[in-house]
Amino acid sequence: MTGLADPQPAEPQLPVLPIRVVALVEPTRQVADFVLAHGADPVRELGRQGWATVRLAEASLGQDGALVLGYTVHPATPLQGRQRPVPSDPGLVVREGERAEPYQRAAAYAVVSGPPGVLLTQLSETTSAAGRWTLPGGGLDPGESPEEALHREVWEESGQVVSDVRLLDLQTSHWVGRAPSGRLEDFHAVRIVYAASCPSPTELVVHDVGGSTSAVSWVREQDLGQYPLVRSFGPHLPRWLSQH
């Protein structure tokens, strides 16, 4: 895909994990429990039900294999508004009779801070945004929790071991575009974002050779503006760093 958001991973696709959204009014009263529909955003869906989110409190793997997103909420005026149209990649050409295949992908990413700065990875030619920089992370494997996926992906893409992992945010995107194979997809990205520390950095190594990462670098915070970041993370990174 050409980059309305994070580039789609190279094929094969990972199996789709069902995603459940659970909301609690602190401390323990559950007020919502639903499956996240394709293309939906948890915060907007809770808002339509009359709940304002306080924070994302949980991202875990349920006993049934579903990804569970737990929010703390408080009552609010229900959000109104029509469904937004689904954007398409710029210049997308759809052949007659061609239909976009829905694909919902859950992934975990980390804002990793260490003595040298912030850890960034550069996207390879296997993606649709080659040369741009992003946060280390990637899709959840079957049976893998988001935090397990985070540790694995950071090591595969940088050779670093992280600690002090905590939830920061969740970000979604929904658009239509082409996968690297040429398949037309209705793509729904659900990205769980963590803060993590790397107090003792080691040599930077991209272990996942031939994957979506071509390079990795420590970047000083004052130099982040010199790196072209993917749209899904660039606008949010200063806020996430202030919460680190």
Q: Which tens digit of pLDDT belongs to each residue from 165-186?
A: 999 999 999 999 988 788 999 9
Residues with Cβ within 8 Å of 235's Cβ and at least 6 positions away in sequence, in order, are none
Percentage of the chain modeled with pLDDT above 70: 93
Residue 121, helix vs strand vs coil: strand
Fold annotation for 102-242: Nucleoside Triphosphate Pyrophosphohydrolase (3.90.79)
169 Cα distance to chain centroid: 9
**Residue scoring higher pLDDT (195 or 10):** 195
Instruction: Note the pTM of the prediction, 2 decimals.
Output: 0.91
- Report whether pLDDT(25) > 60: yes
**106's tokens:** 């859950």
Residue 135: C-alpha distances to residues 142, 226, 227, 235 (Å): 22, 15, 12, 13
- Model pLDDT, residue 15: 57
- Model pLDDT, residue 3: 45
The rounded distance, in Å, linking the Cα atoms of 35 and 22 is 9
In this prediction, residue 210 has a pLDDT band, given cuts at 50, 70 and 90, of confident
- Model pLDDT, residue 203: 98
- Rank 12-21, 75-84, 129-138, 175-184 by mean pLDDT and report only the highest: 129-138
Using the CB atoms, write b or e for 63-83: b if 16+ within 10 Å.
Answer: eeeebbbbbbbeeeeeeeeee
What is the mean pLDDT of the segment spanning 3-16? 52
Portions of the chain given CATH number 3.90.79.10: 102-242
- Model pLDDT, residue 181: 81
- Model pLDDT, residue 2: 43
- Model pLDDT, residue 7: 56
In this prediction, residue 127 has a pLDDT band, given cuts at 50, 70 and 90, of confident
- Model pLDDT, residue 14: 53
What is the mean pLDDT of the segment spanning 25-35? 92
